Amino acid sequence: MITNSKPTYFTGFKLTLLFLFVSFLSYSQNYHLNSPDHEIEVKINNSASLGYSVNFNGKVIIMESTLGFEFKNEPAMRFGFAVIESHEQLINETWKPVVKSKHAEVVDNCNELQLMVKEKSGLMRQMELTFRAYNDGVAFRTKLFRSEKNGHRQITKELTTFNIPGNPKAWVVEYGKYSSSQESEFFERTISYISDKTIAGLPFLMDYGNQCWVAITEANIDNYPAFYIGTTGVGNALTTKLAPLPGELVTGVKARFDDEVCTPWRVIMIGDSPGKLIESEIVQNLNAPCALADPSWIKPGISAWDHWWSGEVAMEIPVIKQYIDFASQMGWPYMLVDWQWYGKYAVPEADITKSAPQIDMPEIIRYAKSKNVKIILWLYNSDVNRNSAYKKAFPLYEKWGIAGIKIDFMDRDDQDMVNWYHDIIKCAAENHLMVDFHGAYKPDGIIRTYPNMITREGVMGNEYYKFSDKMSPEHNVKLAFTRMLAGQMDYTPGGFLNVTKAQYKNQTPTMVWNTRAAELSKFVIYESPLTVVCDHPDHILNQQGSDFLRIVPTTWDDIHFISGYPGDYVAIAKRSGNEWFIGIMNNSKMKEVTIKLDFIAPGVSSLSSWADAEDANSSPKNLKISTQTVQQGDLLKVKMVDNGGWVARVTVQ
């Protein structure tokens, strides 16, 4: 029911399907927006100031929270608005991703409300607010417009807050600054731990108890900085701390724009279990459809990698060919040629269009082609950017037959760097190159729009085993519930020198402090359509578990969260065609879990499993490989040792 005397415009389905109620009092305008299943409700309040709140199953999960902006050389936009237009619509569509991270088809179903607000006095500036209520969360963003003066407007602060009731558990990753590789541990805290000094990364996971899980992240970051979590210093109002522009820490300028600009979507993922968040597609749904006319050249898969991780690899033709042979023997489509292929890097004389004297790139590409393998090239970001070198290099790489590029050490997510990412991704797409960003910020769903942006790092992954003792099994389990909610992560699994915690030490070749079965589970649990394997050919070929790496896919038609808890264990099943793959990863305490095969097809199926051997607590490399017959609904008891795991492949007979 609408009682507004102002004009209101409707699109899509009738208001009766939208469940939107608007009432105007003398000094307030209040809007209610429900999710299609009515379990989530957003309330938008425009009284003294703009604000919103969110309920889930009748429980408040975001109390009244603020919206608005502060600027340099102009007053803040927060108070004294009138709603001059409102538009409502029901969105209900299904789309097929080019790169299937979780589902072959994605349902985009939500109720949307757009509000155009205008200051009642003063500069009479306008903002457009868009809210969406999905069955798995809430998202909102703001569009800002030109000012009356020519030139840039300069945002110094976004006033968006998330006012959290009570003191729920949270999994917090602190970076301590706005410029980093976003490679740190998530620690279990409570909301009261967060302060005005905190610079915590996203996604920000919370357990409210009583079957209520919430995670905060963002989607569709474009011409705007990414944000971090802190507080106002009062209560549990989490703030959006925008990454500042380079050199602007003193002035506080976070973003400049001279035309319309949209904030990224502020995303509140909501579910009755952490698995609902893992299964969610809300981040990709908040991005535009594929912008590429013909994306058929984008091919996910596994890649070998001649990196220092697996030994002190020399940048020499025989070594590169050894890794190409490795990829070919394993049936993998790619081999990543890492740093120093063009000689010195991160120096003014670096030239990414020419290989080092000892490297014959045409011969490498010829040899790889003869083995049915394609080459991916590593690049240092400043070498890519210097004198716009990428505009010359990327067309050259396409001419050479290069499949993709890995660009490293950006370590920023301010507005300038965000725009640089977009320039690189678009230029790479024009030249049929896939992109893997390292030293990168978290994903935001851009893989839907530019599926050549196939994976990125922004995670404390396997490379840390080489020089750190932080890579605990608890950390690896938590990643599935935290960082992975944002999307693809190039963790680089595949360490086959598996040892116990007591045996582990930083060395070359690199040891991995978990069992072989746990390492295999990363290939199922972690999301990365381009999966780069870290270890040396001699450590994997003809070893237990290498057969699994020949058959495991990197893209999926469906996902099913089985059970688990952050830091304890995680069990996930994923479907590729008619086959299901199951991955279970344990923390450092042995346990037995029961999984129900209610997700597999009816009838008789064959289940092949790679499990921790009975002696895996002392010999973590050892696997127990077996095959059994199963049917839909069967219960399986899976035993895992300390730091252990389990994987399986289910095939219909």
Question: 3-class DSSP state for residue 630?
Answer: strand
- Class of the 298-458 domain? alpha beta
Q: Rounded to whole angstroms, what are the CA distances from 204 to 122, 137, 480, 501?
A: 37, 14, 13, 29
Using the predicted structure, report yes or no on whether residue 582 has a pLDDT greater than 90. Answer: yes
The second-level CATH assignment, the architecture, of 460-527+553-653 is Alpha-Beta Barrel (3.20)
Once rounded to an integer, what is the mean pLDDT over residues 612-616?
98
Whole-angstrom distance, CA of residue 202 vs CA of residue 174: 9
- Phi, psi torsion values for 465, nearest 5 degrees: -60, -25
pLDDT tens for each residue of 289-299: 999 999 999 99
* HSE of 651, CA atoms in CB hemisphere, 13 A: 9
Contact 142, 227 (CB under 8 A): no
Query: Residue 538: which residues within 8 A CB-CB, separation 6 or more?
Result: none
Query: How confident is the model at residue 117, as a pLDDT?
Result: 97
Query: Residue 76: which residues within 8 A CB-CB, separation 6 or more?
Result: 68, 69, 70, 159
pLDDT tens for each residue of 395-421: 999 999 999 999 999 999 999 999 999
Domain ranges of the chain: 9-285, 298-458, 460-527+553-653
Give the residue among 453, 449, 467, 458 at the shortest CA–CA distance from 410: 458
Mean pLDDT of the chain: 94
Whole-angstrom distance, CA of residue 55 vs CA of residue 537: 52
Amino acid occupying residue 154: Q
Beta bridge partners of 530: 301
Using the predicted structure, report yes or no on whether residue 566 has a pLDDT greater than 60. Answer: yes
Least confident range of 17-31, 147-161, 579-593:
17-31
Confidence of residue 372 (pLDDT cuts 50, 70, 90): very high
Confidence of residue 236 (pLDDT cuts 50, 70, 90): confident
Same fold? 298-458, 460-527+553-653: yes
Q: Rounded to whole angstroms, what are the CA distances from 405 to 66, 236, 352, 365, 375?
A: 41, 42, 11, 14, 9
Query: Residue 332: which residues within 8 A CB-CB, separation 6 or more?
Result: 301, 302, 303, 304, 373, 533
pTM score, two decimals? Answer: 0.95
Whole-angstrom distance, CA of residue 422 vs CA of residue 306: 28
Strands 126-134 and 40-46: unpaired
Whole-angstrom distance, CA of residue 448 vs CA of residue 99: 8
Please give the distance of CA 414 from its chain centroid, rounded to a whole number. Answer: 17
Classify each residue of 153-176 as buried b or exposed e, where b means 16 or more C-beta atoms within 10 Å of its C-beta: bbbbbbbbbbbbeeebbbbbbbbe
Whole-angstrom distance, CA of residue 273 vs CA of residue 560: 12
Confidence of residue 527 (pLDDT cuts 50, 70, 90): very high
Once rounded to an integer, what is the mean pLDDT over residues 273-297?
98
Is 2.70.98.10 the CATH number for 9-285?
yes
* Residue with the two structure tokens 């060395």: 507
Q: Rounded to whole angstroms, what are the CA distances from 115 to 137, 157, 374, 508?
A: 19, 21, 49, 58
DSSP string, 78-96: -BSEEEEEEEEEEEEEEE-
Whole-angstrom distance, CA of residue 78 vs CA of residue 119: 9
Confidence of residue 71 (pLDDT cuts 50, 70, 90): very high
